[in-house]
Amino acid sequence: MNVISTHIGQPVSRIDGVAKVTGQAKYAAEPHPPGMLYGVVVNSPIARGRIETIHDAEARQIPGVIEIMTHLNRPHAALFEKSYMDGLGVPGAPYRPLHDGEIHFNGQPVAVVFAETFEAAREAAMLVRVDYERWPHNANFEVALHQKYMPSKTRSNYVPPKPRGDAAAAYALSAVKTEGRYHLAPEHHNPMEMHATTVIVEDDGTFTVWDKTQGPQAVQAYLASALSLSKDQVRVRNPYVGGAFGSGLRAVYNVFLATLAAKMLKRAVRVTLTRPQMFTHAFRPEAVMDIALGASRDGTLQSMIVKGVTDTSRFEHNMENIVIWGLINYRCPNATADYKVAPRDTYTSSDMRAPGAATGVNLLEMAIDEMAYACGMDPLAFRLHNYSDIDAMHDMPLTSKALREAMVQGAQHFGWHDRTMAPGSMRDGRERIGWGMATGIWDAMFSPTSARARLGRDGWLHIATAASDIGTGTYTILAQTAAEAFGMPLDRIDIELGDSTLPECPTEGGSWTAASAGAAVWLACNSLRARLFTALAGIGNAPPWVKQGDMTLSGGALHGVNGNDADCLSLTDALSLLGLDRLEAEETAKPGLRGKISQMRKARFTHSAVFCEVRVDHDLGTIRVTRLVNAVAAGRIMNPKTAASQIRGAMVMATGMALHEESLMDERVGRFMNHNFAEYHIPAHADIPDMDVLFVNEHDDEVSPLGVKGIGEIGMCGTAAAIANAIFHATGRRYRNLPIMPGA
């Protein structure tokens, strides 16, 4: 009963590519139900205070305006804060849109205008005037640092790492010491598709909600709880998502406002955020890390002291694990870490691609490079010298770690052996050439996930799970998994994703979808195959080789194991023999060894080694990234083509982190002021060189049932540091603030 197929591991092009480039793929703002109203949000221009009066009479005179919804006239919604908790479970008091007249952050929705046309709604929204009682606020991160705190255990989802040894004493005795404060500017998610919601009121009074989200079932649960509805009354769909990077992990206020309005007006409603409004919700928190490293003269780390602070809102305690990564990745007998959050009068900071690690790994790897030079060692040699084969922070074995191989292979591919040690020693005319490197680490996570496999009389295999594809290639790798497990050609497999009514799947994020949903599809297909074989063996009119169970599945047909060409039965004929129109199976994949909870506690991580070349103009100080090589150890690679695309995309974002992206705060009003692509700089084509991605062979049968580790985030971890370290090698000047600007 073996499956004869070789689909997993092949560089298959995206099966959803044609739908996307031809416009057949529908996104959240594209359904056009009859009678739909357009909603435009009116945002608060102040950071803290209370609404005194809303003047909307003039706006209501605009032809086509149907309603202006505010906290004064909205329909009933849940009263208590716990009803607004979402899937992320950020501690604190979640924001409740239009709950009352209190203002918590600049950009907070204070009204939504609904009209027959978008143009009428936009014009009316510009005429809504609001009088505010203004309260003192603080949006300055440096000021917030003086108010940093650790939430109480009852209001925190953070577990501080246990120190090992005596880091302070070891640092005092170290022969070589480095210390400094490293800073990361806040960054905003800027996916191609802006957040939008289209709500359709069905004939039975239920709501179909098309939303730009990474988790349709999480949004369904949120809306049901916040609007006092049953889950059966809300169906959330997101079959296609135009990028998210973490901005869709939480329910954004547009989905609440649109659904609340549809409930109020009993009409279809659409609310789409503008690009400036994309800067009024989730963003990567601003961060500082104070890092002190001590080593012996031979370059052996003796002490690591890491203290980190990230910003959060005053009403929630968003926490990111920024301080643990170096303590995990490097062998050092004495290490300690401390982490706190600093409150500002802004919206709550939130997850952005590789949350915690993108900040903590990059800043730590910049400090590691400093220490390597302080010890007079090549940065690669220093990292190999302090390599840890275990999770050093928790003293735990690892399911696998091929970081050493990644460093060696990446260095060989890059040509690292030709690098000269002295900063500024490599030049080409007026340009100084710098070569830098860094390592990366990210969690290899796995979450319980369900999937359904259904074989139809049409001979197609239908796969369904509530997973989201945010552009990562989930449609494709799940089709490859199903093809491998069931012996079905790819062009006869239909994948259904992004619907809250489908088998349960966690919100897409954390790089767990390939491992988790892939395992669920594998189990469902194997279960379906077993049911088919069992059913066929039990009927009297089946061919003898079928009744005896001497068969296998390949090419979308049943074949006898004896190799006789005549022993072949199509799947359509097989279902006809059974008298069935379809046969299906649903399974749930769980963490642990081959789908079972492992009794041995082991840490699970993805690793990488990044090498970078920059060229810095001697006179102008302009920086060009001219080469990037990323060697990744991520277990079994389901599709090297889409996987490499994910790594490259993350490296582009990391280049933005290193050289471009910075959300600038106008502290007087508490608003991020560069809220458009003219002023919020992201890398353009001219900023990005050819990027080589290497996948290091890494077998791991414990990390997940298929041996898969996620790759969506690991490309962010270490790339910005490699760029910063290359700039030091080119110029001899250390930069501890990201992004690095010419003349800084």
As annotated, the active-site residues are: 713
Got the DSSP string for 224-270? HHHTT--GGGEEEE-S-----TTTTSS--HHHHHHHHHHHHH-S-EE
| Degrees, nearest 5: CA angle 184-186-187 | 115
Q: How many residues does the chain have?
A: 744
For residue 664, what is the DSSP state?
P
Burial of 620 (0-12, 13-18, 19+ CB in 10 A): exposed
**The pair of three-digit structure tokens given for residue 94, joined into one six-digit string:** 């979640």
Q: Cα–Cα distance between 520 and 514 in angstroms, integer?
A: 10
* Residues 680 and 673: beta-carbon distance below 8 Å: no
Indicate the residue type of 372. Answer: A
Give the residue from 563, 529, 534 showing the smallest Cα distance to 546: 534
Tokens matching residue 219: 């949004």
Q: How many angstroms separate the Cα of 443 from the Cα of each of 4, 387, 409, 465?
A: 33, 18, 22, 23
Q: What phi and psi values does residue 138 have, to the nearest 5 degrees? A: -135, 125
* Three-state secondary structure call for residue 665: strand
Bridge partners of 38? 115, 270
Number of alpha helices (DSSP H) and beta strands (DSSP E) in the chain:
17, 31
Report the candidate in 461, 448, 451, 419 with the shortest Cα–Cα distance to residue 436.
Answer: 419
Cis-peptide into 739, omega within 30 deg: yes
Are 87 and 222 spatial neighbours (Cβ–Cβ below 8 Å)? yes
Tell me if 96 sits within 8 A of 315, measured CB to CB: no
Question: Is residue 551 within a helix (H) or strand (E), and if so which, with residue range?
Answer: strand 551-554
Three-state secondary-structure class, residue 322: coil
**Pairing verdict, β 129-134 and 187-188:** unpaired
Nearest to 481 by CA among 541, 533, 545, 525: 525
